[in-house]
Amino acid sequence: MMPSCVFCERGSTAPASCRRSFPGPSAKARKGKAIMYLTEDQQLFRDAVRKMAEKEIAPIAAEIDDTDRFPKELVPIFGDMGLLQMWVPEQYGGPGGNLTSVCLAKEEVARVSEAASLMVGNNSIGMILPLLHFGSEEQRQRFLPEIAKGRTLTAVAMTEPHAGSDVGAMKTRAVRDGNAAYVLNGQKCYITFGSVADYILVFARTDPDAKGFDGISAFIVDTKTKGFRVGRNERKMGIHGIPNVEIFFDDMRVPVENMVGEEGKGFRAAMKILDLNRPTVGAISVGLAQGAIDVAIAYAKERKQFGRSISQFQGLQFMIADMAMQTEAARSLVYECARQVDNGDLRNLATMASMAKCFASDVAMKVTTDAVQILGGAGYMKDYPVERMMRDAKINQIFEGTNQIQRVIISRHLLQ
């Protein structure tokens, strides 16, 4: 049997197409970069997530990408580690995590699979953060203990065919029907986890006469409710294995008590939730970039041309140096944003969150592209993970608000 190949995307042994087996990143490389303010518990947590990712996720990452299947076997693994429900406070039975812990977990998982990293903190934006910041205590008591068990998946439904960045163009309607319920009708698209979620935070217009962001409300929808329907699963460039689907509401009744926050103020409330979630996209991007660097360095040390390792060529050395500098800068920005949030300093949250998301995702796109270049023809082949990393990196520049939108937010803050 040939030795295991960490670059091979087709099984536990190196196929003939790899032509040789390569060692994984050195112990020094696997140790990762130190984040100065991490507590001992956070460092131990990061190490535990890394070990889990290498054991449970790395062996199936390529297969998930090839088959585009949702890795449901990871749900109990993540749930038992508290990764799905990280932000649920201890008083509701959760682990009581914070933004730094979410970013640490997402970064470590993204080093081997961005798709799997999207499952980390799955319930944060769809349930936990909206309830903690804008929900009632009755809603928190009703939903959070269930989320804390680590077996529930949630999603957020905001985007529509004609309302992406322009949320004010939203057409999905919620009409009050007496004192008991709202009736939802409409369509959403590109909804991440929409076909596997138990609950979805749905944004719908409750005041048809309101302009722009006003008149939009948020509802927790049980996906078992009559009138909820899932459409096609989109065929995507990357993040295979994570469903992105159309969903439809056909006279679906939602209890009045499932509205989160004030009627007509749902979207403005959601902006704070997006600000809290955007740094986690930055963390995913940092992890993805670091994973690509690890592969590129190991390959460059082993690959020989003109009688010596290609790592000895200065042109390639400069590429790796730039990749490392950019990734470390992105990491510092992401965790500085997380530190400020965890310390309760929210004065510059929107700007810092946009900077972290925008800069880190741009870095991930460049670093993964450079990693493919360093591997040359091999990097373009599916036998090696960098082509998957490059495809996955692109979405980070698009979702949670495009990087053009992030630059608008940053510049408005600076120029106001």
Please give the C-alpha separations between residue 373 and each of 62, 300, 377, in angstroms, as whole numbers: 20, 11, 8
What pairing do the DSSP bridges indicate for beta strands 199-205 and 154-157? parallel
d(CA 265, CA 237): 35
Widest CA span of the chain, in angstroms?
80
**Residues carrying an active site annotation:** 400
Please give the C-alpha separations between residue 208 and each of 205, 220, 248, 404, in angstroms, as whole numbers: 6, 20, 19, 29
Angle at 372 between CA 110 and CA 296, to 5 degrees: 70
Count Cβ atoms below 10 Å from residue 52 Cβ, excluding itself.
20
d(CA 53, CA 254): 38
d(CA 83, CA 150): 8
Listed in sequence order, the residues at least 6 apart from 387 whose beta carbon sits closer than 8 Å to its beta carbon are 372, 379, 380, 381
